[in-house]
Chain A
Amino acid sequence: MKDTALSYGGRHLHAPDPGAPALALDGVAAGHSGAAPILHDVSFALPIGKRFALVGPNGSGKSTLLKTVAGLLPMCGGNIRVFGLRVGACHHRTSYVPQRQSINWDFPVDVRRFTLAGRFVHTGWLRRPSAECHAVVDGVLASLGLTEIARRPIGELSGGQQQRLLLARAAAQESDLLLLDEPLNAVDAASRVLVGALLDRLQRAGKSMIVSTHDVGTHDLPFDDVLSIEDGTVRGGAR
């Protein structure tokens, strides 16, 4: 991955801090700007290559935590380090897979183009994705069983296909830390198998991930540790 002179938001690729965990939170408080914090004193560490579940009911702060780590929401206390770097210094290495409802599925973009957006962070302003980017996208689409529908508009996909597509974009980014917001929520069995296989493959390749879910028992994904979150407070995980 080459750094670009016109990277988005001036965010260049920084080398990770040797020996640092993939993610370390220390006393983090966060929420929407101008509102009371949703997260309170959250501390845990995610070692490189590990997969943690983040389990909690609706409104417990799962999405807020993932968005804060991704840099989408401001912190009002504490510290977050991603591969030893501050949030925002390593966006190439972090991908966030949102819940399906945050996407405008009516927009006229097809499956391939949507997945290609995962490469934009490496491309930057005023440049077109390279042949290498297209090759990465082809590989990811094949691994998630999306090649056959690569030219289909995203608005014509089933719920399971949409979820696989979101994961495809994150995989195309080739990030080292994946933040997955309920990736298996309301998806069909076939999609669960494909998603599970991809996550296993990514973990074997040394990727680290946090997977939020209502209930860790409702799907077959193995986890290295389980973080419980309730009312913005996290329990579990190495500190």
Chain B
Amino acid sequence: MNWLLEPWTHGFMRDALAAGLAAGVACGVLGVFVVFRRMAFVGEAMSHTTLPGLVIAQAKGLSLMAGALASNVVTALGIAVLSSRTSRRRGIRDDAAIGVVFTGMFALGVVLTARIGSWRDLSHLLLGNLLSVAQGDLLFMLCAAVLVLAVILALFKELELASYDSTYADLIGIRSQRLHALLLVLIAFAVVSGVQVVGVVLTSALLVTPAATAALLTRRMVPMLWLSATTAAAAVVGGLLLSYHASLPSGATIVLMAALLFMTAWIWRRTQRG
């Protein structure tokens, strides 16, 4: 029992737990929409496109999270415009739109890094920095999680409908393109939180793996949202405990724990079918 409880006697571990749960739950809930709207590539893109915002914020002495968020919101709106129905008719597919914005923003970040920053200064964000999360960043992550959950709760039926039948949503006046843009902005908030937890390289795992795990266990939306959030939370708690006791990097251990939960669910599903 001491193995389970002793780590939380440290303030930095409690902060890490709160930050990890905030980011994990936000990513877990949004991840269901990401996976079933076939937007998994968005998570990868959003995490990498934090780079120019991070570099500029660091150079100007601003909050790194604010820089990352500004960068991601620009990315979200860019993808929303390029993947609109009008653009699709002009031959731009969704994945191409994401690819163009993603690589363009990341390249901008590399150029800015060469001019005004250094890789060493930002290396902790490439792999996450959960164990030394600042109080301001923790507050941002908690607010981001509350925002994500509040918007999904308020607009759940519209987001759900627009996800499987955007034509009918448009017919009754819901304006699915605007909801798509809103969803991308929410993903931007969640990804910025995720970058702090598991780093730029692994953030998409927080979006995709818990949702994919939940999808193995149920085919219904609301239980899937709960299961995805719970899986993400379990990965954060388990990953933090293991990283504390085994002196492993916390972000990577959380992602490994999520992958382990996915494999467990996958094996269970196979035994059910067999």
Q: Known: A8-B174, A32-B89, A153-B220. Is A120-B36 also a contact (CB below 8 A)?
A: no
A125 within 8 A of B: yes
Contact A104 B220 (CB under 8 A): no
Determine the interface band of chain B, counting residues with CB < 8 A from chain A: 20 to 34
CA distance A34 to B84 in the complex (A): 14
Which chain A residues numbered 134 to 156 have a C-beta less than 8 Å away from chain B?
153-156
Listed stretches A95-103, A196-204, A213-221; interface member: A95-103
Contact B89 A34 (CB under 8 A): yes
CA distance A51 to B37 in the complex (A): 36
Partner of B36, one of A10, A103, A107: A107
Contact A98 B167 (CB under 8 A): yes
The 8 A CB mask of B164-178 against A (1 = contact, 0 = none) is 110110111111000
Residues of the A chain whose Cβ atoms lie less than 8 Å from the Cβ of B168: 96, 98, 117, 169
With most chain A CB atoms within 10 A of its CB, the pick from B164, B220, B224 is B164
Q: How far is the CB of A24 from chain B (nearest CB, A)?
A: 20
Partner of B172, one of A121, A126, A128, A155: A121
Q: Known: A96-B168, A117-B157, A120-B158. Is A108-B220 also a contact (CB below 8 A)?
A: yes
| Total A-B Cβ pairs within 8 A | 90
Residues of the A chain whose Cβ atoms lie less than 8 Å from the Cβ of B155: 125
The 8 A CB mask of A14-49 against B (1 = contact, 0 = none) is 000000000000000000111100000000000000
B154 within 8 A of A: yes
CA distance A33 to B85 in the complex (A): 10
Contact B165 A120 (CB under 8 A): no
Contact A102 B221 (CB under 8 A): no
The residue in chain B whose Cβ has the minimal distance to the Cβ of A105 is B164
Which chain B residues numbered 7 to 48 have a C-beta less than 8 Å away from chain A?
32, 36-37
The residue in chain A whose Cβ has the minimal distance to the Cβ of B164 is A107
Contact B219 A104 (CB under 8 A): no
With most chain A CB atoms within 10 A of its CB, the pick from B36, B89, B171, B218 is B171
Determine the interface band of chain A, counting residues with CB < 8 A from chain B: 35 or more
Partner of A104, one of B36, B170, B221: B36
Residues of the B chain whose Cβ atoms lie less than 8 Å from the Cβ of A106: 36
Q: Known: A104-B36, A108-B221. Is A72-B170 also a contact (CB below 8 A)?
A: yes
B163 within 8 A of A: yes
A113 within 8 A of B: yes
The residue in chain B whose Cβ has the minimal distance to the Cβ of A32 is B89
A62 within 8 A of B: no
A71 within 8 A of B: yes
Q: How far is the CB of A199 from chain B (nearest CB, A)?
A: 19
Contact B157 A108 (CB under 8 A): no
B215 within 8 A of A: yes
B161 within 8 A of A: yes
With most chain A CB atoms within 10 A of its CB, the pick from B161, B167, B172, B224 is B172
Contact A108 B89 (CB under 8 A): no
A110 within 8 A of B: yes
Residues of the A chain whose Cβ atoms lie less than 8 Å from the Cβ of B220: 108-110, 153
B86 within 8 A of A: yes
A11 within 8 A of B: yes
Q: How far is the CB of B242 from chain A (nearest CB, A)?
A: 31
Contact A109 B221 (CB under 8 A): yes
B137 within 8 A of A: no
Residues of the B chain whose Cβ atoms lie less than 8 Å from the Cβ of A9: 172-175
Residues of the A chain whose Cβ atoms lie less than 8 Å from the Cβ of B36: 104, 106-108
Partner of B164, one of A96, A104, A128: A104
CA distance A32 to B90 in the complex (A): 11
Contact A70 B86 (CB under 8 A): no
Residues of the A chain whose Cβ atoms lie less than 8 Å from the Cβ of B161: 117, 120
Given pairs A104-B163, A125-B158, 10 additional interface contacts (CB within 8 A): A8-B174, A72-B171, A91-B173, A98-B168, A108-B224, A109-B221, A117-B165, A121-B172, A125-B155, A155-B219
Could you pull out 29 A-B pairs where Cβ atoms are within 8 angstroms? A7-B173, A8-B172, A8-B173, A9-B172, A9-B174, A9-B175, A10-B173, A32-B89, A34-B86, A71-B171, A72-B167, A96-B171, A98-B167, A102-B165, A102-B167, A104-B37, A104-B164, A108-B215, A108-B218, A108-B220, A108-B224, A109-B164, A110-B219, A113-B160, A117-B157, A117-B161, A120-B172, A121-B173, A156-B219
Which residues of A line the B interface, CB within 8 A? 7-11, 32-35, 70-72, 91, 94-96, 98, 102-110, 113-114, 117, 120-121, 123, 125-126, 128-129, 153-156, 169
Closest 7 CB pairs of A and B: A9-B173, A8-B173, A107-B164, A121-B172, A153-B219, A104-B164, A108-B221
